[in-house]
């Protein structure tokens, strides 16, 4: 289920959302070499968040294989900046494009609800909360964590609190069959949250998350849902809700 459009008017240009998209794309091209093996591996080791390394739990010289001829060497010195830099790195084209699609759909209205400076701070706090959650849940992990999805989870948490019944247009892939449906935001984002929760539960029992930082997504989402009440500007939110009321009620269940 991939959202591609929401029916929520935007009254100000989402400059910060556009800038974040641009920074992520620029990092992918200039730092990560658009996925070339050497540049990608170097970026994951240098700028990815490795909980065991950040907390000083990795033995000096620990080698973490990332490919046939690529390893990260841990325990040399903790990289305290990686909780920030990791949210601008990605592991592949699909990872980048998927994250930017979600940010594009939901970021503009959240930015509109609080203003540009506040949104920039809010986005970074969501990403840091995501990194902290994943680190606390799996402090011994030596696998680099990268991606904007934790910070974007914060944006989605804010969105569902502000505009739970906004119409979201999504693509549904059923094998070779592709269709579109319209659902309320709480359905789309609730579905996303449940998927993250189900994916993260095995790690609480000592299992692995299959390379996906599910608890970062959950932590970001929760932080966004809580922080939005501190960051939103009530007058802007009221303006949005008045415009949405004029559009009529959102669907109560998926419409084919």
At residue 233's C-alpha, the angle toward residues 231 and 234, to 5°, is: 125
pLDDT of 208 strictly over 60: no
Q: What is the mean pLDDT of the chain?
A: 89
pLDDT of residue 255: 45
Domain boundaries, the chain: 2-247
pLDDT of 69 strictly over 90: no
Higher-confidence residue: 198 or 255? 198
**Does pTM top 0.85 for this prediction?**
yes
pLDDT of residue 168: 95
Tokens of 249: 């009620």
Instruction: Judge contact between 142 and 64, C-beta under 8 A.
Output: yes
Instruction: Judge contact between 166 and 249, C-beta under 8 A.
Output: no
pLDDT tens digits, 134-187:
999 999 888 899 999 999 999 999 999 999 999 999 998 887 888 999 999 999
CATH topology of domain 2-247: Rhomboid-like fold (1.20.1540)
- Residue 203 to residue 213: CA distance in whole angstroms: 10
pLDDT of residue 118: 97
Instruction: Judge contact between 125 and 223, C-beta under 8 A.
Output: yes
pLDDT of 202 strictly over 70: yes
pLDDT of 21 strictly over 60: yes
């Amino acid at each position: 289920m991939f959202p591609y459009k929401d029916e929520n008017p935007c009254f100000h240009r989402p400059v910060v959302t556009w800038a974040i998209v641009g920074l992520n794309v620029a990092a992918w091209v200039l730092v990560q070499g658009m996925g070339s093996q050497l540049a990608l591996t170097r970026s994951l080791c240098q700028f990815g968040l490795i909980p065991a390394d950040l907390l000083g739990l990795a033995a000096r010289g620990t080698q973490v294989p990332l490919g046939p001829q690529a390893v990260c060497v841990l325990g040399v010195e903790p990289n305290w900046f990686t909780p920030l830099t990791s949210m601008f790195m990605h592991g592949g084209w699909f990872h980048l494009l998927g994250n930017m699609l979600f940010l594009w759909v939901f970021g503009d209205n959240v930015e509109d609800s609080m203003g540009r400076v506040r949104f920039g701070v809010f986005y970074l706090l969501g990403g840091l909360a995501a990194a902290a959650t994943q680190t606390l849940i799996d402090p011994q992990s030596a696998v680099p964590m990268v991606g904007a999805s934790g910070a974007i989870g914060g944006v989605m948490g804010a969105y569902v609190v502000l505009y739970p019944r906004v119409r979201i247009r999504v693509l549904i892939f059923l094998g070779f069959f592709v269709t579109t449906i319209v659902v309320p935001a709480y359905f789309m984002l609730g579905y996303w949250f449940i998927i993250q929760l189900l994916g993260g539960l095995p790690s609480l029992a000592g299992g692995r998350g299959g390379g996906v930082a599910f608890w970062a997504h959950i932590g970001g989402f929760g932080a966004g849902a809580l922080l939005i009440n501190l960051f939103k500007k009530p007058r802007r939110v009221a303006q949005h809700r008045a415009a949405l009321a004029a559009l009529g009620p959102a669907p109560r269940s998926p419409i084919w």
